[in-house]
Amino acid sequence: MRTIWIAGVLLVLVATGFAGYTVFSAEEGSTTVSGAEISAPAEKKQKTKGNQNFHPSRISANDLKLMANAVYGEARGEPYEGQVAIAAVILNRVKSPSFPDTPSGVIFEPRAFTAVADGQIWLEPNESARKAVQNALNGMDPSGGCTYYFNPATATSQWIWTRPQVKKIGKHIFCR
């Protein structure tokens, strides 16, 4: 068993094999802990021309939940347009040959999302995050096709500043 302290919330991750793992999480500010079965991230597959088989209707319920968790962890408190843009970035990565071809693969790619690194991925998403994911799945993309974004006030990687910047929404800059 591995124990991790994050933002005053104890998260206990119990490994159950390669097919998945059980995650116990607590909503921010809560002392209630609940369990949820989450699949392990997909392996990165070599793609040549993007994910030709991608269609939003083929996204699993697990991936929908993970996307809402990622949007909530990355952009709660941001304008709704920014939350949709975060979901769109995840989908843009799924479609790109440079990234894994599933939302869970994209979200759990090492060093890709701060919310994964700091454990906020396991916070229960609100209705706004869920709606943002649905709007992105329905084709809304306020990012303009971007595959990266960052908060200039908190970014620690110099590399992200080298990416062509497309637009700013709330505190995030979206780039290619």
DSSP the chain: -EEEEETTEEEEEEE--SSEEEEEEE-TT---EEEEEEEPPPPP---SSS-TT--GGG--HHHHHHHHHHHHHHHTTS-HHHHHHHHHHHHHHHHSTTS-SSHHHHHTSTTS-HHHHTSGGGSPP-HHHHHHHHHHHTT--TTSS-SEEE-TTT---SGGGGSPEEEEETTEEEE-
pLDDT tens series, the chain, 176 aa: 333 333 333 232 322 232 333 333 333 333 333 333 333 344 444 544 556 677 888 899 999 999 999 999 999 999 999 999 999 999 999 999 999 999 999 999 999 999 999 999 999 999 999 999 999 999 999 999 999 999 999 998 899 999 999 999 999 999 99
The model carries a pTM of: 0.73
